[in-house]
Structure 1
Amino acid sequence: MLNQSLQSPKADILVIDDTPENLHLLSAMLTEQGYKVRSVTKGSTGLRGANAAPPDLILLDVNMPEMNGYVVCQHLKANDRTREIPVIFISALGDVLDKVKAFAVGGVDYITKPFHLEEVLARIDNHLTIRKLQKQLQAQNERLQQEIHDRAKAEEKFTKAFRSSPNPIAIATVSEARFIDVNPSFLRMSGYLLDEVVGHTITELDFGKDVGAIAKTIQLLLETSSLHNQEFEFSTKFGEVKTILLSIELIDLSGVQCALLIANDITERKRLENEFISLVSHELRTPLTSTMGALDLLGAGQLGNLNPQGQKFLSIATTNTERLIRLVNDILDLERMKSGKIFMRKVNCNAAQLLITATEAMQAMAEKSQVKLIVNAINIQLWADPDRLLQTLTNLLSNAIKFSAPGDTVKIGAALPDDENVKSKENESATTKHLLITIQDEGRGIPEDKLQLIFERFQQVDASDSRNKGGTGLGLAICRNIVQQHDGKIWVQSILGEGSTFYVLLPLASSQ
Structure 2
Amino acid sequence: MSREHKQIPKADILAIDDTPENLALLSQMLTEKGYKVRSVTKGSTALRGAKAAPPDLILLDVKMPEMNGYEVCQHLKADDRTRNIPIIFISALGDVFDKVKAFQAGGVDYITKPFQVEEVLARLNTHLTIRHLQIKLQAQNSQLQQEIAQKTAAEDKFAKAFRACPNPIAIATYREGQLLEVNKSLLQMSGYTKAEIIDRNILHLYSPQDSEKYHQALQKASLQGFVHNQELNFLTKLGQIKTVLLSLELIEWGGTKSTLQIMNDITERKRLENEFISLVSHELRTPMTSTIGALDLLNSGQLGILSDRGKQILKVAIRNTERLTRLVNDILDLERIESGQIAIEPVQCDLQPLLIQAIETMQAMAEKAEVNLLLEPCSVSIRVDPDRLLQTLTNLLSNGIKFTKPGGVVQLTASLEGDRCKIIVQDTGRGIPTDKLDSIFERFQQVDASDSRSKGGTGLGLAICRHIIERHNGKIWVESVLGKGSIFYVDLPRTHELTE
Shorter-chain-normalised TM-score: which range?
0.5 to 0.7
Contact 2:220-2:227 within 8 A present in 1 as well? no
Q: Distance in 2 between matches of 1:371 and 1:222?
A: 39
- The answer for the alignment partner of 2:243 in structure 1 is 243
Q: Distance in 2 between matches of 1:310 and 1:158?
A: 72
**Which of 431, 440, 454 is matched with 1:445 structurally?**
431
Q: Distance in 1 between matches of 2:267 and 2:407?
A: 50
Q: Structure 2 unaligned runs (5+)?
A: 1-140
Q: Does 1:432 pair with 2:429?
A: no
> For residues 202 and 288 of structure 1, do their structure 2 counterparts lie closer, same or farther at Cα, with a shift above 3 Å needed?
farther
> For residues 400 and 235 of structure 1, do their structure 2 counterparts lie closer, same or farther at Cα, with a shift above 3 Å needed?
same
- The answer for the alignment partner of 2:382 in structure 1 is 382
Contact 1:349-1:381 within 8 A present in 2 as well? yes
Q: Does 1:498 pair with 2:499?
A: no
- The answer for the alignment partner of 2:319 in structure 1 is 319
- The answer for the alignment partner of 1:201 in structure 2 is 198
Q: Distance in 2 between matches of 1:457 and 1:215?
A: 19
Q: Partner of 2:473: helix, strand, or coil? A: coil
Deviation larger for 242-251 or 364-373? 242-251
Question: How much has 1:459 moved relative to structure 2?
Answer: 0.9
* TM-score, normalization by structure 2: 0.61
Question: How much has 1:179 moved relative to structure 2?
Answer: 4.3
Contact 1:203-1:215 within 8 A present in 2 as well? no
Question: How much has 1:453 moved relative to structure 2?
Answer: 0.9
Q: Distance in 2 between matches of 1:159 and 1:305?
A: 80
Contact 2:375-2:411 within 8 A present in 1 as well? yes
Amino acid at match of 1:489: K
RMSD, aligned CA: 3.8
* TM-score, normalization by structure 1: 0.60
Q: Distance in 1 between matches of 2:212 and 2:398?
A: 39
> For residues 397 and 263 of structure 1, do their structure 2 counterparts lie closer, same or farther at Cα, with a shift above 3 Å needed?
same
Amino acid at match of 1:391: Q
Q: Distance in 1 between matches of 2:190 and 2:323?
A: 43
- For these two proteins, the number of residue pairs brought into alignment is 349
Contact 1:218-1:248 within 8 A present in 2 as well? no
- The answer for the alignment partner of 1:485 in structure 2 is 471
Contact 1:174-1:219 within 8 A present in 2 as well? no
Question: How much has 1:323 moved relative to structure 2?
Answer: 1.0
Q: Does 1:256 pair with 2:256?
A: yes
> For residues 236 and 270 of structure 1, do their structure 2 counterparts lie closer, same or farther at Cα, with a shift above 3 Å needed?
farther
- The answer for the alignment partner of 1:52 in structure 2 is none
Q: How does 1:328-367 map to 2 (within 5 A)?
A: 328-367=328-367
Amino acid at match of 1:372: N
Q: Partner of 2:440: helix, strand, or coil? A: helix
Question: How much has 1:275 moved relative to structure 2?
Answer: 1.9
- The answer for the alignment partner of 2:265 in structure 1 is 265
Q: Distance in 1 between matches of 2:473 and 2:197?
A: 31
> Per-residue displacement from partner, 1:203-237 (whole Å, max 9, x unpaired)?
599x8783897799589958985765132134378
> For residues 274 and 202 of structure 1, do their structure 2 counterparts lie closer, same or farther at Cα, with a shift above 3 Å needed?
farther
Question: How much has 1:265 moved relative to structure 2?
Answer: 0.7
Question: How much has 1:163 moved relative to structure 2?
Answer: 5.2
> Per-residue displacement from partner, 1:311-352 (whole Å, max 9, x unpaired)?
111111111111111111111111211111111111122222
> Per-residue displacement from partner, 1:409-462 (whole Å, max 9, x unpaired)?
11111122xxxxxxxxxxxxxx42222111111111111111111011111111
Q: Does 1:148 pair with 2:145?
A: yes
Contact 1:442-1:498 within 8 A present in 2 as well? yes
Q: Partner of 2:310: helix, strand, or coil? A: helix
> For residues 145 and 372 of structure 1, do their structure 2 counterparts lie closer, same or farther at Cα, with a shift above 3 Å needed?
closer
Q: Distance in 2 between matches of 1:479 and 1:215?
A: 17
- The answer for the alignment partner of 2:234 in structure 1 is 233
> For residues 235 and 199 of structure 1, do their structure 2 counterparts lie closer, same or farther at Cα, with a shift above 3 Å needed?
closer
Deviation larger for 276-285 or 330-339? 276-285
**Which of 440, 444, 447 is matched with 1:458 structurally?**
444
Contact 1:178-1:200 within 8 A present in 2 as well? no
Q: Partner of 1:231: helix, strand, or coil? A: strand
Question: How much has 1:392 moved relative to structure 2?
Answer: 0.7
- The answer for the alignment partner of 1:302 in structure 2 is 302
Question: How much has 1:176 moved relative to structure 2?
Answer: 6.9
Q: How does 1:57-72 map to 2 (within 5 A)?
A: none
Q: Distance in 2 between matches of 1:310 and 1:271?
A: 44
Q: Structure 1 unaligned runs (5+)?
A: 1-143, 417-430
Contact 1:218-1:259 within 8 A present in 2 as well? no
Identity %, equivalent residues: 57
> For residues 365 and 210 of structure 1, do their structure 2 counterparts lie closer, same or farther at Cα, with a shift above 3 Å needed?
closer
> For residues 263 and 354 of structure 1, do their structure 2 counterparts lie closer, same or farther at Cα, with a shift above 3 Å needed?
same
Q: Partner of 1:260: helix, strand, or coil? A: strand
Q: Distance in 1 between matches of 2:364 and 2:215?
A: 49
Q: How does 1:119-130 map to 2 (within 5 A)?
A: none
Question: How much has 1:199 moved relative to structure 2?
Answer: 7.4
Tell me which structure has the larger Cα radius of gyration: 1
> For residues 177 and 329 of structure 1, do their structure 2 counterparts lie closer, same or farther at Cα, with a shift above 3 Å needed?
same
Q: Distance in 1 between matches of 2:254 and 2:162?
A: 17
